[in-house]
Structure 1
């Protein structure tokens, strides 16, 4: 070979190596696994590797199947069904890939092309920790983008990425109770005191856990959507709960994780070993530090409670927001007396083709309380103020449940409706802000938003009490949670008949105009909840983790130096493109 050709070949090889180091391997590159290698992976995980097609592919040519399509269409808004499907997420906009103009909707005509979008090409439907280890080693060896899907309940696009391999933990349903659980400790340490606990596999969903615990007279801190996976992004992101006032955030209640790391090792993380990981996994965000195999949580009695509901419906207008303002003046007082719950407003709710109404809905639980007279007296001043504000008596009702599990089996009955396109904006609002009688300012901020029919703004009141008292717990949870009174969320619908450009315009408005309205209430000091936030949150590192981010970044660099686990707006993601396919810089 001539010297000049040798140099050209050498520089070409260096360029290829640099590209492979900075980008994940793509199917059209020589580094992509052969069919034989994919087959070998399938054999090594006991035949649980599947090729992924979009959920709606059977509704489009050339893969159209009338029988299969009818099943998909009947279940497209069924969250239980979507959680089990490798080719589906709970929010269909995260199945699309606008940058490549790829989509596949159940709602669009059969003749429209069905493209892969941000869905993975393959899914490993893992059953064991060993399966996960095998897949992690495979993607490391071949430099393939890895995504983890627990249930697909994610508003930030963390459960999907184009040209990727998915680990689907749905089938990991093991649950067990220990009356005297002791975290795994190194041989040189004395074991800590035991605690009553439940260990749940990575695929266990909240509804399943509540039924299991309720049958044993027990309960754990968890959320209020039955198909959310307890061990996934919910608890790794913090996890608010009806039980928060009594026992803190879900992440406060973890005793131990079992997790597969980027090097393929299977370890326990608790306060006594791998304590850096234990810190990171309790609030540092799902999918950023490894693949959680199981989580062990404290359990409590299956408390009785009083569940109070309040709502009113009226013509849109100023009086509706006057009612919202009257309601928000009382939430601090109700929370201080143990009330936890939600309230939401739909300013434009269509009841016919020619008529819209405005609706406020509220539900609050008073856990471990059984005196309905006391709770009714707590609501009396609120009901009087509401009647004066809106001009009529709002609906109010209370139900006493013998246990939390019986409440959950009632309010979570059926399947939560998902399968639409959705983007959010959110902000944490402090107790000090609400103590200063700033509820009027909060109402003004909410009412200043422009709403399309069906879009909502809501307040989550699941803090105070023990959430605030647990501020000395060493975890990655954003410290702002300890000072939070209301977690404000607003929704924006992304319908299939919108172009990607129209969806992007709407999403950009959330980031540039609408979220800043709420940040300005307290000059941005409080941040947002990563599990229910703007998917393009500006300064997400501080907003999601506050002062904890530098430590999280250090743990990430130590435990995952090659960034195997990168998710949108997760720890370390600032060094990667939006899909986690190519590195942006080397820092």
Structure 2
């Protein structure tokens, strides 16, 4: 059966008692058990300053547990617990469900766990400022600075590293900032009068999600470099972390195409960052990591005429392990050639396990800017011939399509209005270079590593992202904070583990250990200087400074000291986070 393009991309997206802490006021954030915690009048004053938009937060699943169990409400919560659109709007939810828990405190609150298990607050914020305008954000930032309260910023909650949650914190929820403004020739603030404009662009509010933006772009027959998901927030950690895209080979990474940010800084000031003012902050916001520099309220990105797109879907399945892995190696040998020919896209490797005899490799490739099959045939036919020669005829299914615009491809990739969220998962990743796979020994080493990972994590899927090369590589001269390794990358590989909601703390820690001590090292030793994508990486990535930013980290650290010397904006494995504990509560 032919696997539809939208299915392939669908695979990709996948109160307990507290122990009182007695920190030094100069070294730790304030806890609710301490005298320094804001009084009720202080919280009421914040609520008034943001026009009644402050709410007390509980994990959304608390209605599925005693003593607040409610049958009808719990049933509805279970029904919505995998709907990313609903999760993104809910202050008590995140897209990766395990980040709502806090195993060290033995606090969990899953919709599917036993009703009698108490619902702990976990890492979910105690309060949320459900902001509706910039002044609300400024008031919330000034509040946490004055009262030494931990801050968490939630755009949509799409974060594999748990950066949008923090225990005992005030959350700023940017979901309602939905403005979209188009301009034919954007001129950044501070641009000289005789300066050249940037061409067509769109300015989006922090709460604008990718599918909504694609729809607005499509109505004007234009497009922008953004990702392949419904509910990821375009202005949040996605673009600030670099932002890979199926359009990357054509026009570069999302951060490469950002031309201006509006941001609330650690002092509560609203500033503009572009090439003409606050250029150091502009550098940091283009790849330096979401949540580390302030609260972005708006961002302006370039737009382009909607390009035609040729698509190939290749589905490989085989019960012959030797033949299957031979094809996996051959595919990676050919990947640099495909990428040089303009190919981008995704592939999903699922080796066989005890429950099935079949191993599968599903590949979706896009040739953006091409309308005929000629370009695809020139770079893909040798691979197809190899597949037909080594695998049985029924094991190879090929589909080729032509779309007059990328918007038609997006309609297939992202049907409906929502992704599947609510997963319990921990991932690890690595970037693999073009040069490493341009020779047979490199592809052989990678294939052997993938074999080893598949035997250690049976039944798991390894996802490859062919989202660089082309213009991503050519943009190496841009002064942005993106890891320089991206400019040499041909594929970004991600694997992971999951566990049941009722798993013990020890079982969860063992799963996490497997990612950090087995999966990531197996990939990292292939090319120690390549690193990982900071938005899709191990939450406990070792030496994350060089892994995520390479030689740009010292510059980022200096910018952090200038703009946020007090550490108001600390995120897991973010710039400056090494000076704080894992939850960003105490300096270390």
Listed one character per residue, the Cα deviations across residues 402-454 of structure 1 (whole Å, up to 9, x for unaligned) are: 21122112211133212111111111111111112221211111111135454
Deviation at 1:29, TM superposition (A): 1.1
**Are the aligned partners of 1:420 and 1:494 in contact in 2 as well (CA < 8 Å)?**
no
Deviation at 1:321, TM superposition (A): 1.9
* Partner secondary structure for residue 580 of structure 1: coil
Aligned ranges 1:543-562 → 2 under 5 Å: 543-562=547-566
- Map of 2:447 onto structure 1: 443
**Are the aligned partners of 2:496 and 2:515 in contact in 1 as well (CA < 8 Å)?**
no
Aligned ranges 1:563-578 → 2 under 5 Å: 563-578=567-582
Match of 2:473 among 468, 473, 477: 468
- Map of 1:128 onto structure 2: 133
Q: What's the C-alpha RMSD, in Å, of the aligned pairs?
A: 1.7
Aligned ranges 1:83-94 → 2 under 5 Å: 83-94=88-99
Deviation at 1:496, TM superposition (A): 1.1
Return the alpha-carbon distance in structure 1 between the equivalents of residues 439 and 227 of structure 2.
29
* Partner secondary structure for residue 151 of structure 1: coil
* Partner secondary structure for residue 25 of structure 2: helix
Return the alpha-carbon distance in structure 1 between the equivalents of residues 573 and 409 of structure 2.
34
- Map of 2:350 onto structure 1: 346
Return the alpha-carbon distance in structure 2 between the equivalents of residues 194 and 337 of structure 1.
28
Deviation at 1:18, TM superposition (A): 7.7
**Are the aligned partners of 1:314 and 1:320 in contact in 2 as well (CA < 8 Å)?**
yes
Deviation at 1:17, TM superposition (A): 11
**Are the aligned partners of 1:93 and 1:422 in contact in 2 as well (CA < 8 Å)?**
yes
Listed one character per residue, the Cα deviations across residues 183-208 of structure 1 (whole Å, up to 9, x for unaligned) are: 0117x886543421000100111101
Aligned ranges 1:82-481 → 2 under 5 Å: 82-185=87-190, 191-315=195-319, 317-348=321-352, 355=356, 357-392=358-393, 393-414=395-416, 415-437=418-440, 438-449=442-453, 450-452=455-457, 454-481=459-486
Give unpaired runs (5+ residues) of structure 2: 1-20
Return the alpha-carbon distance in structure 2 between the equivalents of residues 408 and 548 of structure 1.
34
**Are the aligned partners of 1:183 and 1:191 in contact in 2 as well (CA < 8 Å)?**
no
Return the alpha-carbon distance in structure 1 between the equivalents of residues 387 and 443 of structure 2.
14
Return the alpha-carbon distance in structure 1 between the equivalents of residues 103 and 58 of structure 2.
17
Normalization by structure 1: what TM-score? 0.93
**Are the aligned partners of 1:54 and 1:116 in contact in 2 as well (CA < 8 Å)?**
yes
Deviation at 1:288, TM superposition (A): 0.3
In terms of mean alpha carbon deviation, does 193-202 or 317-326 score higher? 317-326
Give unpaired runs (5+ residues) of structure 1: 1-15
Deviation at 1:359, TM superposition (A): 1.9
Deviation at 1:219, TM superposition (A): 0.4
Return the alpha-carbon distance in structure 2 between the equivalents of residues 233 and 485 of structure 1.
22
- Map of 1:59 onto structure 2: 64
Deviation at 1:177, TM superposition (A): 0.2
In terms of mean alpha carbon deviation, does 238-247 or 207-216 score higher? 238-247
Kindly tell me the number of residue pairs found equivalent between the two proteins.
564
Relative to 1, partners in 2 of residues 1:60 and 1:388: Cα closer, same or farther, differing over 3 Å?
Answer: same
Return the alpha-carbon distance in structure 2 between the equivalents of residues 230 and 349 of structure 1.
37
Return the alpha-carbon distance in structure 2 between the equivalents of residues 41 and 316 of structure 1.
64
Return the alpha-carbon distance in structure 1 between the equivalents of residues 181 and 72 of structure 2.
39
Relative to 1, partners in 2 of residues 1:571 and 1:298: Cα closer, same or farther, differing over 3 Å?
Answer: same
Deviation at 1:84, TM superposition (A): 1.0
Relative to 1, partners in 2 of residues 1:348 and 1:84: Cα closer, same or farther, differing over 3 Å?
Answer: farther
* Partner secondary structure for residue 532 of structure 1: coil
Return the alpha-carbon distance in structure 1 between the equivalents of residues 390 and 587 of structure 2.
55
* Partner secondary structure for residue 47 of structure 2: helix
* Partner secondary structure for residue 184 of structure 2: strand
Return the alpha-carbon distance in structure 2 between the equivalents of residues 318 and 180 of structure 1.
56
- Map of 2:7 onto structure 1: none
Return the alpha-carbon distance in structure 2 between the equivalents of residues 284 and 101 of structure 1.
33
Return the alpha-carbon distance in structure 2 between the equivalents of residues 548 and 462 of structure 1.
22
* Partner secondary structure for residue 343 of structure 1: strand
Relative to 1, partners in 2 of residues 1:542 and 1:330: Cα closer, same or farther, differing over 3 Å?
Answer: same
**Are the aligned partners of 1:327 and 1:386 in contact in 2 as well (CA < 8 Å)?**
no
- Map of 1:495 onto structure 2: 500
**Are the aligned partners of 1:420 and 1:495 in contact in 2 as well (CA < 8 Å)?**
no
Deviation at 1:316, TM superposition (A): 7.0
- Map of 2:543 onto structure 1: 539
Deviation at 1:348, TM superposition (A): 4.0
Return the alpha-carbon distance in structure 2 between the equivalents of residues 461 and 379 of structure 1.
15
Relative to 1, partners in 2 of residues 1:428 and 1:265: Cα closer, same or farther, differing over 3 Å?
Answer: same
* Partner secondary structure for residue 22 of structure 1: coil
Deviation at 1:373, TM superposition (A): 4.1
Return the alpha-carbon distance in structure 2 between the equivalents of residues 347 and 53 of structure 1.
40
**Are the aligned partners of 2:495 and 2:519 in contact in 1 as well (CA < 8 Å)?**
no
